[in-house]
Amino acid sequence: MNAKLDISRLVNQFKDLPGALLPLLHAVQAEVGYVPDSAVPVIAKGLNLSRAEVHGVISFYHDFKTRPVGRHSVQICRAEACQSMGSRLLESYAKEALGIDYGETTADGNITLEPVYCLGNCACSPSVRVDERIYARVDQNRFDALITELSVESSTGPEASK
């Protein structure tokens, strides 16, 4: 993949949009998986911003990643409604089961674990988001099942995951 070329194309696509930076960063991340350092000067030039401004925006928002992430994102809700239903235990279980902490990726590159603050599913907590899907009432067994599913998907072919 020629990341640099891709980013120029995206910059051209978004640069005339008012307040283009966030939609552009989302688009870059959707395409590349993260916002590579090499994208920053290209974006800055295209939107007539300083590199510091672009970097500042990337670092401000939890969603934007600057390093490659796993094939799947697993987010555990840390907010109060989920806490009231045992998410603190689920968090420590998940970290132990995957052998990683928040912000880290499993050694096989399959899963990146992250905290999230509310998925709006608070009447049926605890909630977990796997990529674009949200799951309710996730206990340890259900978490295991979700992770197993992701491992199976990945071993049957990387295309299955996207």
Q: How far apart are CA 126 and CA 116, in angstroms?
A: 12
Residue 84 or 108: the one with the smaller Cβ distance to another protein is 84
Instruction: Tell me: does residue 19 bind another protein (CB under 8 A).
Output: yes
From the list 15-23, 105-113, 143-151, 153-161, the region that binds another protein by CB under 8 A is 15-23
From the list 2-10, 49-57, 104-112, 147-155, the region that binds another protein by CB under 8 A is 49-57
From the list 2-10, 18-26, 103-111, 148-156, the region that binds another protein by CB under 8 A is 18-26
- Least Å distance, CB 66 to another protein, is 13
Instruction: Tell me: does residue 162 bind another protein (CB under 8 A).
Output: no
Instruction: Tell me: does residue 84 bind another protein (CB under 8 A).
Output: yes
Identity of residue 47: L
Read off the tokens for 75. 């987010």
Q: How far apart are CA 66 and CA 33, in angstroms?
A: 9
Instruction: Tell me: does residue 122 bind another protein (CB under 8 A).
Output: yes
Give the DSSP per-residue string, 112-146.
EEEEES--S-GGG-S-EEETTEEESS--HHHHHHH
DSSP 33: S
- Least Å distance, CB 21 to another protein, is 3
Residue 97 or 118: the one with the smaller Cβ distance to another protein is 118
Q: How far apart are CA 46 and CA 43, in angstroms?
A: 5
Alpha-helix residue ranges (DSSP H) falling in 35-116 = 39-47, 51-60, 80-83, 87-98
Kindly list the residues in this chain that would bind another protein in the complex (CB under 8 A): 18-23, 25-26, 47, 53, 56-57, 60-64, 79-85, 88, 116-125, 127, 129, 132-137
